[in-house]
Chains A and B, each alone.
Chain A
Amino acid sequence: MRTILYILQKEFIQISRNRLMMGVLFIMPFFQLILLGYAASFEVKNLNIHIVDPDKSSFSSDLISKFSASSYFNVKNLTNSHKLAMEDLEKGKVDLIMEIPKDFEKDFINGEKTNIYLSIDAVNGVKAGLANAYAGMIIKDFNTDIFAKYTGRKISLPIGITWSNWYNKHMVYSTFMVPGILVLLVTMIAVFLTAINIVREKEIGTIEQLNVTPIKKSQFIIGKLFPFLLIAFFELSIGLIIAKLVFNLHYEGSLILVYSFTFVYLFAVLGIGLFISTLSNTQQQAMFIAYFIFVIFILMSGLFTPIESMPVWAQKITWFNPIKYFIEFMRMVLLKGSTFADVKNHFIIIAIYGVILNTLAVWNYRKVSG
């Protein structure tokens, strides 16, 4: 037991003397959360639109003003040339074109059917779909408005919809993203720093010296993991404070639950770091393996793309992704106020994950070889 204290003392001194690392530890949470919290948004706003209006009637200008009033669209250009509009679309200056036909107003008054033509840049399918839907909504509104105006009759459709948003009432994107980014922060600290720290001892040869001392495997490993467990908790706390102060996140669930789960989760991901360190002989190798695992973990975590929209086989792969469980957990507990009963499975899965990984890592870490 006393041996561990001496090893811990050494680790903390070394970490505190590493200026670069200390800098990263303090600056990273602010950078990641504030930058990504604001920037990583999938909300499609400010779509640039080129409107071709050869009609130039009060009708068409009513429609145009509806578009310019909407926060979803930014009327970039207003011409009466199809050719100019297509040029804008090709150069990527606008995301869509709306063409109003020449006799738009006249046709309507004469009771003839008229069509508005939308051309949408569909390189990004999601964005194109949303552009189509938003434009459709505005045009539909306009349709009902003028129909009422000119006929005096209100169109009433048989089925109406009333709705309310739950858990994230105002649909603020950062509320959705920040808990997930917090997960990345904690995970990165735990995996990268642990792996690099242990491999560094291999690289400079001090591990050989430790191996001829009576230090037990378990003492060495605890000495290595414990400091990063504390640091990860520290980062989580800073993150939660920033989320509250900067993003006005209101924590619905219990923070004790969050910290307990984080503890189990860190046990698992520190195991990943330890495992990577047993596979690598240099810090470079460790970084490379860690990056490889991380990119897959992040992109398949449900942070940026919903897991439900992945193919079924890919969804099965995400079952092995600890980040996925932590993000789900954070969104459930922090935003929806889920209780332990709701996230029991998350606890069980991550605990099993941790036991398997750590067993593997410890088994792979040998003091004696051959």
Chain B
Amino acid sequence: MKKDSGNYIVEVENLTKKFGSFIAVDNISFKVKKGEIFGFLGANGAGKTTAMKMLTGLLNPSSGKAIVAGWNVETNPDKVKLNIGYMSQKFSLYDDLRVNENIRLYAGIYGLKRSEIKIKINKLIGELGMENLRKKLVGDLPLGWKQKLAFAISLVHEPPVVFLDEPTSGVDPITRRQFWEMIYKASSEGTTIFVTTHYLDEAEYCTRASIMVDGQIKALDTPENLKNRFEVDNMQEVFVKLARG
């Protein structure tokens, strides 16, 4: 059953994931408002990726509940998948397909009509300024272009929420900046952004940010409030204070 989610696009209650005796995600609860850019921060191994995998239906929770885009991830994973976009740090387009072929494939998988797909391909390529690269194999594109294309493709079916797992890792500062401009644009068009990153300066761009330490969410607020609360100048120091306990 679809739950009327009101103002929230993601609702997590007591979500836990255990691998044997190791607790990767320890009883976390939080809500993400529609339209916000939600930063999901934490050191490597803090449990971010595991939590994200549960939210996107790749991994079943050990206990607890998560509602994404109105659907329970455990009982209706297929509905969840239809209503989210996802882009992982592991680069996930097909290198041996052309730019337009990659877009066509994912648009087709998400059930867009043939005529819609044609329009979509032209629109995306136009917005990205990739007209000259349209027939290029994705494998021949520079990393920055690939990442922008991957983000655009994760939005191809116009999902209400998109999950970005370390989307900017490994790219140069200019591309990172362009990438965040794309995120803002998508956000301004009403898409909720759920983003993990280990660049803490990027946390400043988020509407709200949560910080995970050892499987638990230790803090969740606007960057401004977090800095005030810990009496520091930037998110980097908030993070260091929290991680030290």
Which residues from 192 to 217 on chain A have a C-beta closer than 8 Å to any C-beta of chain B? 204-206, 208-216
Count class of interface residues, chain A: 20 to 34
Residues of B within 8 A of A5 (CB): 108
Decide: A18 near B91, CB < 8 A? Known: A212-B86, A368-B60: no
Interface-located stretch among B29-37, B95-103, B192-200: B95-103
Interface size on B, residues (CB 8 A): 31
Which residues from 135 to 181 on chain A have a C-beta closer than 8 Å to any C-beta of chain B? none
Q: Is B88 an interface position by the 8 A CB rule?
A: yes
Q: What is the 8 Å Cβ interface bit string for chain A, positions 339-350, against chain B (1 contact, 0 not)?
A: 000000000000
> Please, how many angstroms separate the alpha-carbon atoms of A212 and B91 in the complex?
14
> Please, how many angstroms separate the alpha-carbon atoms of A369 and B81 in the complex?
15
Q: Which residue of B lies closest to A16 (CB)?
A: B96
Q: Is B232 an interface position by the 8 A CB rule?
A: no
Task: Give the secondary structure class of A's interface.
Answer: helix
> Please, how many angstroms separate the alpha-carbon atoms of A18 and B110 in the complex?
26
Decide: A212 near B56, CB < 8 A? Known: A2-B111, A6-B105, A205-B88: yes
A353 nearest CB across to chain B (Å): 31
**CB < 8 Å A-B pair total:** 77
Interface-located stretch among A7-15, A107-115, A315-323, A328-336: A7-15
Which residues from 8 to 45 on chain A have a C-beta closer than 8 Å to any C-beta of chain B? 9-10, 13-14, 17-18
Which residues from 87 to 127 on chain B have a C-beta closer than 8 Å to any C-beta of chain A? 88, 90-97, 101, 104-106, 108-111
Q: What is the 8 Å Cβ interface bit string for chain A, positions 276-297, against chain B (1 contact, 0 not)?
A: 0000000000000000000000
Residues of B within 8 A of A2 (CB): 108, 111
Residues of B within 8 A of A212 (CB): 56-58, 81, 84, 86
Decide: A206 near B92, CB < 8 A? Known: A212-B81, A215-B109: yes
Q: What is the 8 Å Cβ interface bit string for chain B, positions 169-187, against chain A (1 contact, 0 not)?
A: 0000000000000000000
Q: Is A370 an interface position by the 8 A CB rule?
A: yes
B63 nearest CB across to chain A (Å): 12
Decide: A6 near B104, CB < 8 A? Known: A13-B97, A370-B17: yes
Q: Is B77 an interface position by the 8 A CB rule?
A: yes
Contact between A205 and B92, CB atoms less than 8 A apart: yes
Q: Is A3 an interface position by the 8 A CB rule?
A: yes
> Please, how many angstroms separate the alpha-carbon atoms of A205 and B58 in the complex?
13
Q: What is the 8 Å Cβ interface bit string for chain A, positions 103-143, against chain B (1 contact, 0 not)?
A: 00000000000000000000000000000000000000000
Decide: A214 near B81, CB < 8 A? Known: A2-B108, A3-B111, A10-B101: yes
A266 nearest CB across to chain B (Å): 25
Decide: A205 near B97, CB < 8 A? Known: A5-B108, A212-B57, A213-B106: no
Decide: A10 near B97, CB < 8 A? Known: A206-B92, A214-B109: yes
Contact between B109 and A6, CB atoms less than 8 A apart: yes
Q: Is B128 an interface position by the 8 A CB rule?
A: no
Among A13, A14, A209, A368, point to the contact of B77 (Cβ < 8 A): A368
Contact between A209 and B81, CB atoms less than 8 A apart: no
Residues of B within 8 A of A368 (CB): 57-60, 77
Contact between A205 and B105, CB atoms less than 8 A apart: no
Contact between B92 and A208, CB atoms less than 8 A apart: yes
Residues of B within 8 A of A211 (CB): 58
Contact between B96 and A205, CB atoms less than 8 A apart: no
Contact between B90 and A205, CB atoms less than 8 A apart: yes
Q: Which residue of B lies closest to A213 (CB)?
A: B109
Contact between B101 and A213, CB atoms less than 8 A apart: no
> Please, how many angstroms separate the alpha-carbon atoms of A179 and B89 in the complex?
49
Which residues from 6 to 64 on chain B have a C-beta closer than 8 Å to any C-beta of chain A? 17, 19, 56-60, 62
Contact between B77 and A10, CB atoms less than 8 A apart: no
Contact between A14 and B97, CB atoms less than 8 A apart: yes
> Please, how many angstroms separate the alpha-carbon atoms of A367 and B59 in the complex?
9
Residues of A within 8 A of B59 (CB): 368-370
Q: Which residue of B lies closest to A206 (CB)?
A: B92
Contact between A205 and B91, CB atoms less than 8 A apart: yes
Residues of B within 8 A of A206 (CB): 92-94
> Please, how many angstroms separate the alpha-carbon atoms of A18 and B94 in the complex?
13
A366 nearest CB across to chain B (Å): 10
A23 nearest CB across to chain B (Å): 16
> Please, how many angstroms separate the alpha-carbon atoms of A215 and B57 in the complex?
13
Contact between B88 and A209, CB atoms less than 8 A apart: yes
A56 nearest CB across to chain B (Å): 75
Contact between A14 and B94, CB atoms less than 8 A apart: yes
Residues of A within 8 A of B110 (CB): 213-214
Residues of B within 8 A of A209 (CB): 86, 88, 92-93
Max chain A Cβ within 10 angstroms of own Cβ: one of B17, B86, B96? B96
Max chain A Cβ within 10 angstroms of own Cβ: one of B62, B109, B110? B109
Q: Is B82 an interface position by the 8 A CB rule?
A: yes
Q: Which residue of A lies closest to B102 (CB)?
A: A10
> Please, how many angstroms separate the alpha-carbon atoms of A10 and B101 in the complex?
8
Residues of A within 8 A of B82 (CB): 214
Q: Which residue of B lies closest to A212 (CB)?
A: B86
> Please, how many angstroms separate the alpha-carbon atoms of A17 and B96 in the complex?
7
Residues of B within 8 A of A215 (CB): 109
Residues of B within 8 A of A9 (CB): 104-105, 108
Known: A10-B101, A14-B97. 14 other contacts (CB 8 A): A3-B111, A7-B109, A10-B94, A10-B105, A205-B90, A205-B91, A208-B90, A213-B81, A214-B82, A215-B109, A367-B58, A369-B60, A370-B59, A370-B62
Q: Which 5 A-B pairs have the closest CB atoms?
A: A6-B108, A209-B92, A205-B90, A212-B86, A214-B82
- 8 A-B residue pairings within 8 Å (CB atoms): A6-B104, A205-B92, A208-B90, A208-B92, A212-B81, A213-B106, A368-B59, A369-B60
